Structure 1
Amino acid sequence: MAKVIGVINLGNEREQLQELTNHRSMASVPFAGRYRLIDFTLSNMINAGVHNVAVFTRKKYRSLLDHLGSGKEWDLDRQQGGLFILPPPDYAMDLEGDIQHFKQNMAFFNRSRADYVLVSNGNLVWNIDFTHVFNFHEEMEADITVIFKEFNDEKVDTEKFDTLEENEQGWISSINRDVSPKPGDRVYLDTFFIKKELLLDMIQKCDEQGDNLTLVDAVKDKIDRFKIAGYHFKGYFPFIQSLESFYRHSMALLDPNVSQELFFNRGLIYTKVKHEPPAKYMELSDVQNSLIANGCVIEGTVENSILFRGVKVHKDAVVKNSIVMQKSEIGEGAYLENVILDKDVKVSPGKEIAGDNVPTVIAKSTVL
């Protein structure tokens, strides 16, 4: 897909994961032991041959800059094209829409010879072949092709999504913003293909009219003028919009079938490489049904848990049904259950922490 450029648009992210997004964007939230949420969409683009990608950041992007670096892990450290991380203009920091951000970076689009733009979000956990979507877009001769997933998560009853409706001809006829979906509803996955000229024309007209809409609202307002096709993604897609759903879908990865579907059925998912030794299991350690990343040292008990890189679990410590992020340390005899520890948390010897239906979250670099 050499004639496609990619945009990962973080301009309208919502800070929905409490302490986990206090100091980072949603896109840079750690996931699955060694990844960040942005790794999935970025890897999907690379696997489809999109080698010119811009990340439109907005707020709290320091950790994102550190994670992405030059983009070499995604083969984006290159002379032609590559990875571009584009912060918003200062005057747009407090604006709700994202049109001004696109307007500010028109040069990124103008200097590319690509005919199409793939716009997506940075917090989607999925493994999709974008070449299939692009082929569908061209076959339909659509102006815009949006990607949707049929809603099937009955445990989500308070979260809001955008949903789509089709007319009798099979084109998208309406976009319903921030609604509570019912099973079977078409949930818009914040991802679409569009002709570059059409995108630039939309941005220019919105700017001239003084509208600071989101791109979705700009499309919605003129939906009768476009041929908008809907591509149904049928693969694994967890809807993560709350701390509860983040925890539940993280723990689902302990099921080998789920991990296989997400990481190995299509292209690979890439992430920042850290040269650490394999996990080390000491003589008295007891580990069951857990995901343990490299660099960990386990002396105690770990059950039904996810441990990120460099975690230390000392002698007689117990970790159950928990997520422990990078370089955290669990002291001797400590007990954790239904807990999410952010990076660099130190749990003192003998300390007990237990959550209930919603896990207890311990903020980054906390000492307990």
Structure 2
Amino acid sequence: MNKSMLGVIDATTYHQSLEDLLLNRSLAAVPIAGRYRLIDFILSNMVNSGIHSVAIFPKYQYRSLMDHLGSGKNWDLNRKRDGLFFFPAPAIDSTDQGMGSFNHFAHHLDYFHRSKQKYALISNCNTIFTTDFNPMLKRHMETGSDITKMNQEQKSMEIYLMETSLLIDLIETREKTGYTCMKDVVEDASSNLKVCDYEHLGYVERIECIQSYFKASMNLLKPDCWKQLFRKEYPVLTKVKDEPPTRYQKGATVKNAIIANGCFIEGDVKESTVFRGVKIGSGSSVSNSIIMQKSQIGENCVLEYVILDKDVKIEDDVQLVGSPENPVVIRKGMIQGALMNS
């Protein structure tokens, strides 16, 4: 019996409240946990579940995403057969609303027709969790469902499993049925399709706003959340970079923080995530913050509840203080000086 699955990742999602982090990248490529991108989690889940063919459907600012994923080598998807595929939206279409747009899929219908996998797994790109999809497939087959949707605490995670032939039919008949996306199908009470739920147990975070991104980053500093997300049997794969170990100067202190490789720490860091290649000057204090790759923080600075995007430069004697509900966000490549705060 053919139990193979086809992976489909919708990377078109855009949330206005995340605008500061989405100016130069798609939501799927937003960095998290020191060295990962949001898409790494769902993509790793698929690969760890034995899925060897994954199609990614992006729309906005996807150059960074393509650079991160490359040929798919780090996920063992650089294959002669199947592998990793990119299918960008050919044009901005205002009718493409909802996760799993059938209009977007229709532009690349040949991919689905050529696929040999009997089942298709469709997912969003901005949910971080760890799972094996094979028990979900087993439940789908046992119940005889047309569509199985994954829930967490009875709330939809926008992850759907069905036969590939049914997905093709939904795409081809979209104008007749009026269905524009997967949500339309599963929420239609008059539909003849049998839709069943599959409950996911474990840690889940959906990134839809700055507050949820900040909350998820802070939660990963908790050992229990980290252990649920990063499990030895289901590794979270990402782009590999060769960098030297982080260097801690005399007088530097670090408490309960995620520190990536290649950093240079002279100041104090606590309850924070620091990405690769970050420099923190002497006398500076960083707490409850997210400092992305290659950002530089000068001397005698105070950063609390702050998100610095990549390549940000904070000059000496700067104070930036936000709150858990409203963290200060500095956009990629910006320079923040003491005079700017006065």
TM-score higher than 0.5:
yes
Question: Which residues of 2 match residues 104-183 of structure 1 at below 5 A?
Answer: 104-150=107-153
CA distance in 2, matches of 1:38, 1:26: 8
Q: How many residues align?
A: 331
Q: Find the counterpart in structure 1 of residue 340 from structure 2.
A: none
**Amino acid across the alignment from 2:86:** I
Which of 278, 282, 287 is the aligned partner of 1:320? 287
Question: Which residues of 2 match residues 250-261 of structure 1 at below 5 A?
Answer: 250-261=217-228
CA distance in 1, matches of 2:179, 2:63: 25
Deviation, 1:318, is 1.2
Which of 185, 195, 199 is the aligned partner of 2:163? 195
Q: Find the counterpart in structure 1 of residue 257 from structure 2.
A: 290
Give 5+ residue unaligned stretches, structure 2: 337-342
Q: Find the counterpart in structure 1 of residue 314 from structure 2.
A: 347
Q: 1:28-53 CA distances to partner (integer Å, 9 max, x unpaired)?
A: 11111111100000000000000100
Deviation, 1:222, is 6.5
Q: Find the counterpart in structure 1 of residue 172 from structure 2.
A: 204
Which of 103, 106, 115 is the aligned partner of 1:103? 106
Q: 1:175-227 CA distances to partner (integer Å, 9 max, x unpaired)?
A: xxxxxxxxxxx2110101111111111111114x3947122213433653111
Question: Which residues of 2 match residues 293-312 of structure 1 at below 5 A?
Answer: 293-312=260-279
After alignment, is 6-15 or 284-293 more displaced?
Answer: 6-15
Q: 1:292 to 1:117 in 2, by over 3 A?
A: same
Q: Contact between 2:15 and 2:209, CA under 8 Å: does it hold in 1? A: no
Secondary structure at 2:7 match in 1: strand
TM value normalised by structure 2: 0.93
Q: 1:226-269 CA distances to partner (integer Å, 9 max, x unpaired)?
A: 11110000111123322112111211111111111110164010
CA distance in 2, matches of 1:284, 1:192: 51
Does residue 28 of structure 2 align to residue 27 of structure 1? yes
Deviation, 1:111, is 1.0
Which of 234, 246, 250 is the aligned partner of 1:267? 234
Q: Find the counterpart in structure 1 of residue 339 from structure 2.
A: none
Give percent identity, aligned residues only: 42
CA distance in 2, matches of 1:33, 1:223: 46
Q: 1:71-113 CA distances to partner (integer Å, 9 max, x unpaired)?
A: 11101111111000110122x5433332111111111111111
Q: 1:34 to 1:223 in 2, by over 3 A?
A: farther
CA distance in 2, matches of 1:10, 1:223: 29
Secondary structure at 1:254 match in 2: coil
Deviation, 1:286, is 0.9
Secondary structure at 2:110 match in 1: helix
Q: Contact between 1:48 and 1:129, CA under 8 Å: does it hold in 2? A: yes
CA distance in 2, matches of 1:35, 1:103: 31
